[in-house]
Amino acid sequence: MATFLVILHGLLAVALLGSITHQAVAVVWPSRSKIGFANAYRAVSSRVYVNANIALFIAVATIGGVVYPTYRVWIRTYLENARLFSAVGSFEVKEQFISIGLGLLPLYWLVWRRAEPAGQSARTAVTLMLCFIVWFSFIVGHILNNIRGLFGL
Partner 1 sequence: MNNNQIEKLVPVFSAAFAFIYIVSVELNWALFTYHPKIGQWGWLVEPSRDGPPMYWYGWLVTSTLGASAVSVITWPLLKNRPTQYWLGWTVPLLVMISVFYFFRDFFLR
Binding site for partner 1 (CB under 8 A): 65, 68-70, 72-73, 76-77, 85-86, 88-90, 92-93, 95-97, 99-100, 102-104, 106-107, 110-111, 118-119, 121-122, 125-126, 129, 133
Nearer to partner 1, 42 or 76 (CB): 76
| Nearest approach, Cβ of residue 33 and partner 1 (Å) | 30
Q: Give, for 36, the enclosing helix (H) or strand (E).
A: none
Interhelix angle 50-70/2-28, rounded to 10 degrees, is 150
Nearer to partner 1, 93 or 153 (CB): 93
| Nearest approach, Cβ of residue 133 and partner 1 (Å) | 8
Query: What whole-number distance in Å separates Cα of residue 53 and Cα of residue 88?
Result: 27
Query: What whole-number distance in Å separates Cα of residue 133 and Cα of residue 137?
Result: 6
Contacts of 85 (CB under 8 A, 6+ apart): 79
Query: What whole-number distance in Å separates Cα of residue 12 and Cα of residue 60?
Result: 6
Nearer to partner 1, 100 or 139 (CB): 100
| Nearest approach, Cβ of residue 93 and partner 1 (Å) | 6
| Nearest approach, Cβ of residue 28 and partner 1 (Å) | 15
CB-based contact 36:77 (threshold 8 Å): no
Nearer to partner 1, 36 or 89 (CB): 89
Nearer to partner 1, 15 or 147 (CB): 147
Query: What whole-number distance in Å separates Cα of residue 84 and Cα of residue 88?
Result: 7
Length of the chain: 153
| Nearest approach, Cβ of residue 80 and partner 1 (Å) | 10
